Amino acid sequence: MEQGTARELPKLTDERVRALIADSQAGETLARDELVIANQRLVWAVVQRFLGRGYEPDDLFQIGCIGLMKAIDKFDLSYDVKFSTYAVPMIIGEIQRFLRDDNTVKVSRSVKEMARHIRHTRDRLAKELGRQPQINEVAEALGIDPAEVVLAQEAMRVPASIHETVFENDGDPIYLMDQIADAEQDKWFDKLALHDALSRLPERERLIVYMRFFKDKTQSEVADMLHISQVQVSRLEKRILETIRQSLD
């Protein structure tokens, strides 16, 4: 996605934006894509504040788009506020967190370079296919294993912060930690424990979990990606789940 293209996009009305947000939150990927494309100018406007810090503008733009997508997912349509007013702090926070964490959590140059190749290949395939490419399609285009695609993307993922500003009105910010209700704290910590358990799994087992339970792939689809049999995937899956249960216990 290039800055020049973003400048030529038509502006959506507030009513259209809200309708698209409702559709996106209901699971409509086309509505989500339209919102992201229509708001590229907003992301680029935020990125301008962070230029000259040793990072490629395109990298900052991609991080800003993550903040934009989070804003789409979290925006409460009952708010009496424009989406852009809500989205800007989310985009800023995502870029700031990236700049901060990039100085403390070091990712190897080779992984960063691989993640950049993956991003560019994904964008190219999306234009050619008219849809977002699957992980195995990106891997095939680059001549690498699907596990390498997943791991490179995960390595570059920006950690969420409980101090993230999710809404701000008249200088009174609401942070992510404010929205974690006491009754849900146990579930929240359970998720952290699960994340820790998953991070301890070998690469191939993490990929199986990711594709089966986060991407809703069938055992046969995962088997094709890993070039093993569906029976092997089934056995591995049972062993992985038992390992996770033991870790959580």
Q: Are 166 and 174 in contact (CB under 8 A)?
A: yes
**pLDDT single digits (tens) 178-197:** 555 444 445 555 666 667 77
**What mean pLDDT is predicted for residues 128-135?**
88
* CATH topology match: 108-155 vs 180-249: yes
- CATH number for the region 180-249 comes to 1.10.10.10
At residue 117, the pLDDT reads 87
What are the residue boundaries of the structural domains of the chain, listed by start? 1-106+163-176, 108-155, 180-249
pLDDT of residue 214: 77
Give residue-wise pLDDT tens across range 79-96: 778 888 888 988 998 888
- The CATH classification number of 1-106+163-176 equals 1.20.120.1810
Average pLDDT of the residues of the chain: 78
* CA 223 from centre of chain: 25
DSSP-assigned beta bridge partners for residue 168 = 173
CATH number of 108-155, picked from 3.40.50.150, 2.40.170.20, 1.10.10.10, 1.10.10.60: 1.10.10.10
Q: Which residue has the higher pLDDT, 183 or 162?
A: 162
**Confidence label for 8 from pLDDT (cuts 50, 70 and 90):** very low
Q: Which residue has the tokens 């591995």?
A: 236
Rounded-to-10 torsion of CA 210, 212, 217, 218: 160
